[in-house]
Amino acid sequence: MTPARWAFTELSALGEQPWISVTHGFMIDDVLRPLGAIAGIQPHIVQRINDFQVTAALVHAGLGVVLLPRHSVPTWSDAHWPRCIQPG
């Protein structure tokens, strides 16, 4: 099962997945680290991209998982976007 096909999952279930994040110091990165700690994971970040459209396309292609603001998700990815509903 690829991350782009998950409808709902707990954040703790994504600990072994490749993560795509933003540059250090951006708010998303500042939120991801403590959320990972709460869930008991340390996200393995394989790429850092500050363009949410590009990031969404990579997730859609199954190349990783990401934490993004809800408003930044393109409408074409609605049927394939993973959503983490629990931090633990």
| Residue among 59, 57, 53, 54 nearest 14 (CA) | 59
pLDDT value for 57:
83
> Exposure string (b/e) for 26-38, b if CB count within 10 Å is 16 or more?
eebbeebeeebee
Which option is the CATH number for 3-86: 3.80.10.10, 3.40.50.300, 3.40.190.10, 1.10.1660.10?
3.40.190.10
| Position 77 pLDDT exceeds 60 | no
What's the first-to-final CA gap in the chain, in angstroms? 21
| Position 2 pLDDT exceeds 50 | no
Name the more confident of 52 and 70. Answer: 52
pLDDT (tens digit per residue) in 7-66: 567 888 888 999 999 998 888 888 998 999 999 999 999 999 999 888 888 887 888 888
pTM: 0.73
pLDDT value for 21:
92
